[in-house]
Amino acid sequence: MYHLALKMLLGDRAKFVMLVGGLTFATLLMTQQAAVFFGLLTWTTSHMRNMRAKLWVVDRKVEQANELKALRDTDVNRVRSAPGVAWAVPVYMTIQSAKLADGNFKPVQLVGLDNTTLVGRPPVILQGRLEDVRLPNAVILDELGVKRLSAGRAKPLGLGDTFELNDKEARIVAICRADRHFFGYPYTYATYTQALQFAPKQRKMLSLVLAEPAPGWTLAAAASSIEAETGMKAYTEDELFWSTIWWYFRNTGIPVAFMSIILLGLIVGTTISGQTFYAFVHENLRHLGALKAMGASNGLLARMLLVQSLTVGFLGYGLGALMVTAFGRSVLARGEPPFMMPWQLPVGTFLAVMGICCLSALLGIRKVWNIEPAIVFRG
């Protein structure tokens, strides 16, 4: 009977297209917006993937990775002296203006790395040598920086080229790949000492301290020890990640904006699918009543409706997922807008679409369940 149920559905082209279209749209909206949202959230924690450290020591009022409050230079030694700390290095982070060849300015994220260890160095060096960053006026620029700062030049910036960073000459000694900054600024790495020379002098210049627990110390124990000894806040990598994410949930309208669109997708999908499927069932009520009169049980009719509903669900989801994948591939190639699709996202959307379909089928099943087979004898 199920193949006949599908033929009944496919025979009503307009409703079939409407159902599949509605579910495709819902899938597209929910998955694409969620992927952009996750991508954006991921960008908020880009510092952590670009610097990679087990312990992040910051001012005790700092709640997230993009809003650092400067520490005193001596604080790095206080962290080093805390029990359970294997090593600790200073990092300076600031937004500086880079001057383009055409006279325009672009902001860059300047990261000052510990001169000796270069802890917090960029994850992937594409051209040049990391160690050359210790040369005078040297910087390592990421791919986005090369693209952005090359504006107005005859050819893209490369190794050995210079540009103005806060009115001082910066020479590119390496090009790296780094995760995209939340605000879209290119990452520019220098040594800690060099970074302090690029940036205007302030009373406190240390942004944060990266540290690692001593052997035998857990991350939590070492973090507690640092906090107890220094009065600063010591985050494990995981803690800072979630603290940053939740900070954006609590303090920005980003989650609400995205959630409302995702919810809209769910509502539109449910409404279109539910209403269309209900109309389909309503129009076929006489035929379904005839099937019931002929001995089709409520269970069989319910299963037929479920097969119809889930079939359009699979098709709609499949088309929507394909479109999102195509969108994702195109934006990932361009680098923006943000896009991140962990496996949980398509699975979640799939379950949502199947939920919509089950709900739609349920409306129809309720109707069919209640019809008397004698309906077929009424003119």
Partner 1 sequence: MQASTQLAVHIRAVTKTFGTGEAAVRALKGVDFDARQGELLMIVGPSGCGKTTLLSVIAGTLDFEAGEVEVFGSSLHGMKPREVTEFRKRHVGFIFQQFNLIPTLTLIENVCVPLLINGTGRRVAEQKSAALLDRLGLQGRGHELPRNLSGGQQQRVAIARALVHEPRLVICDEPTSALDKDTGALIMELLRDIARHPDRTVIVVTHDNRIFKHADRLTEMEDGRVQRVHDQAGNSGENGGSSLFPPSPKLIT
DSSP state of 54: S
User: Two tokens at 110?
Assistant: 């300047």
The site string for partner 1 over 296-335 (x = CB under 8 A, - otherwise) reads xx--x-----------------------------------
CB of 368 to partner 1, least distance (A): 13
> At closest approach, how far in Å is the CB of 50 from partner 1?
59
* Residues in binding contact with partner 1, number by CB under 8 A: 27
Decide if residue 4 touches partner 1 (CB under 8 A): yes
The DSSP 8-state label assigned to residue 144 in this structure reads H
Q: CA angle 83-87-92, nearest 5°?
A: 120
Site membership for partner 1, residue 220 (CB under 8 A)? no
Among 14, 154, 294, 333, binds partner 1 (CB under 8 A): 294
Q: Which of 125, 285, 290, 340 binds partner 1 (CB under 8 A)?
A: 290
Phi and psi for 71 in degrees, rounded to 5? -110, 165
Provide, rounded to whole angstroms, the least separation between the CB of residue 300 and partner 1: 7
The tokens 């082209």 sit on which residue?
13
The nearer residue to partner 1, 201 or 378, going by C-beta atoms, is: 378
The C-alpha angle with vertex 177 and arms to 171 and 181, in degrees rounded to 5, equals 95
Q: Which of 159, 254, 261, 293 binds partner 1 (CB under 8 A)?
A: 293
Please report, as a single letter, which amino acid is at residue 94: T
Q: What is the closest distance, in whole angstroms, from the C-beta atom of residue 24 to partner 1 in the complex?
A: 22
Binding mask 7-46 for partner 1 (x = CB under 8 A): xx-xxx----------------------------------
Residue given tokens 């312990």 in the structure block: 55
CA distance 239 to 173: 34
Q: What are phi and psi of 108, to 5 degrees?
A: -130, 155
- At its nearest, how many Å lie between partner 1 and the CB of residue 319? 23
Written as six digits, the tokens of 256 are 């609400």
Binders of partner 1 in range 229-288 (CB under 8 A): 284, 286-287
Q: How far apart are CA 205 and CA 69, in angstroms?
A: 10
Return the H-helix or E-strand segment holding 148. helix 143-149
The answer to the question of residue 196 lying near partner 1 (CB under 8 A) is no
For position 372 contacting partner 1 by CB under 8 A, the verdict is yes
Q: What is the crossing angle of helices 237-251 and 13-44, to 10°?
A: 120
Which lies closer to partner 1 via its Cβ, residue 296 or residue 354? 296
Residues numbered 100-139 forming contacts with partner 1, rule: CB under 8 A: none
Nearer to partner 1, 60 or 286 (CB): 286
| Preceding omega of 337 cis (within 30 degrees of 0) | yes
Instruction: List the beta bridge partners of residue 90.
Output: 209
> Minimum Å distance from CB 283 to partner 1?
10
How many Å separate Cα 261 from the centre of its chain?
A: 16
Binding interface with partner 1 (CB under 8 A): 1, 3-4, 7-8, 10-12, 284, 286-287, 290-297, 300, 372-374, 376-379
